C-alpha cells in the first residue's frame, strides 16, 4: 500500500489535515485505532463559533445540542461575574457526530479511511538513501489492522494522535511538556441559565478551573482540569481529578444546590499546555494536541488544531508531490502555523501561568475588580474565546486601567 500522505488519528484535526492534503492533489489514507469515529470522547464538547467555522462546517441539529452566549464566573467566595456576549459565542456539540461529519467531508475529497488500525512503528529512509539523492523517499509505517500486522508506505506521515502521540516518539520529536489531567461527567443539573456556561477558578481546580456546560436546562457537563504540581501542594490527600470533582460537587454551594446526583456519561483526558518549538522532521508533521496546539487559557484545541491542520495538509501534499519531504522542506509548516498562532499561544501561556498561581483571596479581589458596568461592557464587546489578547489589550488601555493594574499588578505590562 503506497500513499503520498498518511494521517494518524481521525479526530477533527486529523480529518481536516487529510482533507486538505487530498484537496492539494495527494493520495491520502487516514487511520484510526478505534472502531468508530468520535468514540471514545475526550473533550468538553464546547466549541467556539470560530472553531466550527474554521472546520468549514455550518451549525446543524445533527451535532449541535445547545448554543451559548456567555459565562458566569464564580469566585471562591461566591460572588459572580456575569459575562454576556449578547449573541452566540459557542456551541455545545455531540463530538461523536461532529467528528463524523468532518470524516465524511474528508472521504468526499477522496481520503481513504481505515478503522481499527493502530500505528506501532515508523521506519524512515536510511542515510545512504539520502546521500544518493533519490527522489520521493518512502516511510514505512507499521500498523496493526484488525489484529494483523501490515506495512504502509508513504511520503509523509501527519501525526494527529493526541497528547501521547506515538508518531512524535517514532519520529524523535518531543511531546507536549505539560499536560493537564481533566475529568468530566454529564449529569442532571438545573442550570441557572442554559445560555451560559459556568466557570469556577480557584482551589477547587488548582492551576486551571472547573466548569459546567449546559446541554439543556436539565442536563450539564460538569468537569475540571488541574495542574498536577499545584494540586500536590494543595494539601489534599488524594490529588486526582476525580477527587477534586467529588469535593467540588459536595462542597460548592452553587453546584450542590443544582446537581441531582448520579451521571449519564464520564470522560477523562489530558490537555496539552504549550506548543513544541519543532513539529516537523524528515517525512513527519505533528498537528493538534500532538503538537501542543491547544489554547492554554481554555484548553480548547479545535480552532487552533484545524487552523494548523489546513497548513499541514497542504504542505505535506506539496512536499510529497515535489519529491522533497526533508525536514527543511516540511519546516514551512512550522513557520506558517507559528506565524498564525504562535503569539496568541505565547500570551495564553503567560495568562495561564499567572492565573494558575493566584490564591482564592486574589481571585475574589480580581473578580470583584472586573465586576463594573464599564468593564463588563468592554468584555462584551471585545471578549474572544480564541484570541484573549484582544480583550486584555483593550482593558489595559481603557479608562479602567488604574483599577485593573491594582488587580493584575504588573502582569498586564509583561504581556505586550
CB 350 within 8 A of CB 15: no
Secondary structure letter of residue 275 according to DSSP = -
CB 79 within 8 A of CB 364: yes
Neighbours of 69 (CB within 10 A): 17
CB 225 within 8 A of CB 208: yes
Q: Is residue 409 predicted with pLDDT exceeding 70? A: no
Q: Where would I find the H helices in 157-301?
A: 166-171, 228-232, 241-251, 253-258
**CA 208 – CA 375 distance, rounded (Å):** 23
Q: Give percent of the chain above pLDDT 70.
A: 91
- Best CA proximity match to 69, nearest among 416, 392, 379, 406: 379
Sign of CA pseudo-dihedral 225, 192, 247, 206: positive
DSSP assignment of 3-32, as one string? EEEEEE--SHHHHHHHHHHHHTT--EEEE-
pLDDT band at residue 334 using 50, 70 and 90 as cut-offs: very high
CB 305 within 8 A of CB 288: yes
pLDDT band at residue 161 using 50, 70 and 90 as cut-offs: very high
How far does CA 289 lie from the centroid of its chain?
6
Task: Tell me the per-residue pLDDT of 345-368, one tens digit each, with 9 for 90 and over.
Answer: 999 998 899 888 889 998 998 888
Q: Of 369 and 91, which is predicted with more confidence?
A: 91
**CA 202 – CA 181 distance, rounded (Å):** 16
Per-residue confidence (pLDDT) for residue 230, from 0 to 100: 82
Phi, psi (5° rounding) for residue 174?
-75, 150
What is the residue-averaged pLDDT of the chain?
A: 89
Per-residue confidence (pLDDT) for residue 126, from 0 to 100: 64
Task: Tell me the per-residue pLDDT of 225-274, one tens digit each, with 9 for 90 and over.
Answer: 999 888 766 666 778 899 999 999 999 999 999 999 888 888 999 999 88
Task: Tell me the per-residue pLDDT of 371-395, one tens digit each, with 9 for 90 and over.
Answer: 888 888 888 888 888 888 888 777 7
Q: Is residue 182 predicted with pLDDT exceeding 80? A: yes
CB 288 within 8 A of CB 309: yes
Q: Is residue 136 predicted with pLDDT exceeding 80? A: no
pLDDT band at residue 93 using 50, 70 and 90 as cut-offs: very high
Q: What angle do CA 413, 345, 169 make, to 5 degrees?
A: 140
Amino acid at each position: 500500500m503506497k500513499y503520498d500522505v498518511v494521517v494518524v488519528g481521525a479526530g477533527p484535526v486529523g480529518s481536516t489535515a487529510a482533507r486538505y492534503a487530498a484537496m492539494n492533489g495527494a493520495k491520502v489514507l487516514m487511520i484510526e485505532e478505534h472502531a468508530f469515529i468520535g468514540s471514545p470522547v475526550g473533550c468538553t464538547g464546547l466549541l467556539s463559533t470560530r472553531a466550527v467555522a474554521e472546520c468549514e462546517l455550518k451549525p446543524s441539529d445533527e451535532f449541535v445540542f445547545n448554543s451559548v452566549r456567555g459565562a458566569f464566573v464564580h469566585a471562591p467566595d461566591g460572588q459572580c461575574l456575569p459575562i454576556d456576549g449578547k449573541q452566540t459565542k459557542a456551541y455545545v456539540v455531540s463530538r461523536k457526530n461532529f467528528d463524523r461529519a468532518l470524516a465524511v467531508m474528508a472521504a468526499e475529497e477522496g481520503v481513504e479511511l481505515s478503522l481499527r488500525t493502530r500505528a506501532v512503528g515508523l521506519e524512515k529512509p536510511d542515510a545512504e538513501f539520502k546521500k544518493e539523492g533519490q527522489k520521493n523517499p518512502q516511510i514505512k509505517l507499521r500498523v496493526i489492522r484488525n489484529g494483523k500486522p501490515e506495512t504502509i508506505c508513504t511520503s509523509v506521515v501527519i501525526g494527529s494522535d493526541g497528547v501521547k502521540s506515538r508518531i512524535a516518539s517514532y519520529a524523535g520529536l518531543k511531546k507536549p511538556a505539560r499536560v493537564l489531567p481533566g475529568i468530566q461527567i454529564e449529569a442532571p443539573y438545573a442550570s441557572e441559565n442554559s445560555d451560559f456556561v459556568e466557570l469556577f477558578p480557584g482551589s477547587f481546580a488548582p492551576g486551571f478551573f472547573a466548569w459546567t456546560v449546559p446541554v439543556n436546562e436539565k442536563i450539564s457537563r460538569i468537569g475540571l482540569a488541574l495542574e498536577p504540581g499545584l494540586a500536590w501542594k494543595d494539601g489534599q490527600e488524594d490529588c486526582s481529578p476525580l477527587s477534586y470533582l467529588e469535593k467540588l460537587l459536595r462542597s460548592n454551594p452553587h453546584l450542590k444546590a443544582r446537581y441531582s446526583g448520579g451521571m449519564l456519561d464520564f470522560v477523562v483526558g489530558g490537555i496539552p499546555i504549550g506548543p513544541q518549538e519543532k513539529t516537523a522532521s524528515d517525512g513527519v508533521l505533528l498537528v493538534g494536541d500532538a503538537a501542543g496546539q491547544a489554547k492554554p487559557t481554555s484548553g480548547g484545541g479545535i480552532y487552533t488544531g484545524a487552523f494548523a491542520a489546513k497548513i499541514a495538509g497542504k504542505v505535506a501534499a506539496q512536499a510529497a508531490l515535489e519529491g522533497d519531504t526533508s525536514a527543511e522542506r516540511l519546516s514551512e509548516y512550522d513557520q506558517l502555523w507559528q506565524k498564525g498562532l504562535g503569539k496568541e499561544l505565547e500570551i495564553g501561556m503567560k495568562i495561564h501561568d499567572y492565573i494558575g498561581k493566584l490564591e482564592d483571596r486574589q481571585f475574589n479581589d480580581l473578580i470583584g475588580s472586573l465586576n463594573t458596568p464599564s468593564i463588563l461592557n468592554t468584555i462584551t464587546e471585545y471578549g474572544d474565546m480564541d484570541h484573549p489578547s484582544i480583550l486584555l489589550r483593550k482593558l489595559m488601555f481603557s479608562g479602567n486601567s488604574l483599577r485593573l493594574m491594582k488587580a493584575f499588578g504588573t502582569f498586564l505590562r509583561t504581556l505586550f
